[in-house]
Amino acid sequence: MTDFAARRRTMVDTQVRPSDVTKFPIIDAMLSVKRENFVPDAQREAAYVEGMIELEAGRCILEPRTLAKMLDVLNITNDEVVLDIAPALGYSTAVAARMAQLVVAVEADEALAAEAQTLLMEADADNVVVHVGPLDEGAAEHGPYDVVMIQGGVEEVPSALIDQLKDHGRIACLFMEGDLGTVRIGHKSGDRVTWRQAFNASAPVLKAFSAESAFSL
């Protein structure tokens, strides 16, 4: 029988801590949330490997290092409301929920959202709302948000998400240029967002955040 708890500790010790992520809330969350429960059944054995888990339709679960470093630079506190875009089966939402006051997860696929809702309930993530709707539209009715994070690659960030961010709020996006990607953190002040590069990473570009999709709008 697979010892997933041991694999979870190994993931944190070999992928998260060596990436200079040492904040206790992040380490505690990633040690506590059972990642194997938030991946497709056929991929449970790969839940703790180094690297992203690829899903259907160009979707993925970000590699543990990428998610951990994203959370590290966002520095979520327990009085903040977080918008988590495209969390698939809800792993990133479950992790963020252990740090935030409330997490709103947005998924476009009803079946995927329903499964995520079930898994999050089973994980006792009772400070989570799963919202079904277009990824690039966010969930304005639950905002505004202190933090926005997107679980996949982007080429363009729609204004709808920026509009839902509070003044002085933060947004984390993995901007892809070809095969190369950089996570950038945006800080909102008034109507402007100032971006800074945080670290390199890679993920498939979410269709809703491709430059072509933005142009077609």
Please write the tens of the pLDDT for every residue from 109-130: 999 999 999 999 999 999 999 9
Instruction: Give the pTM.
Output: 0.94
Task: Round the average pLDDT of the chain to a whole number and report it.
Answer: 94
In the chain, alpha helices (H): 4-11, 24-32, 64-74, 91-97, 110-122, 159-163, 211-216
- Would you say residue 195 has pLDDT above 50? yes
pLDDT value at residue 191: 86
CA distance 210 to 214: 6
- Would you say residue 215 has pLDDT above 50? no
pLDDT value at residue 1: 74
CB 95 within 8 A of CB 30: yes
CA distance 206 to 84: 14
Q: Which long-range contacts (CB under 8 A, 24 or more apart) does 34-39 make?
A: 34/4, 34/8, 34/123, 35/8, 35/11, 35/64, 35/91, 36/4, 36/7, 37/119, 37/122, 37/123, 38/88, 38/89, 38/90, 38/91, 38/94, 38/119, 39/89, 39/91
- Would you say residue 216 has pLDDT above 50? no
State the amino acid at position 16 in one-letter form: V
In 3-state terms, what secondary structure has residue 194? strand
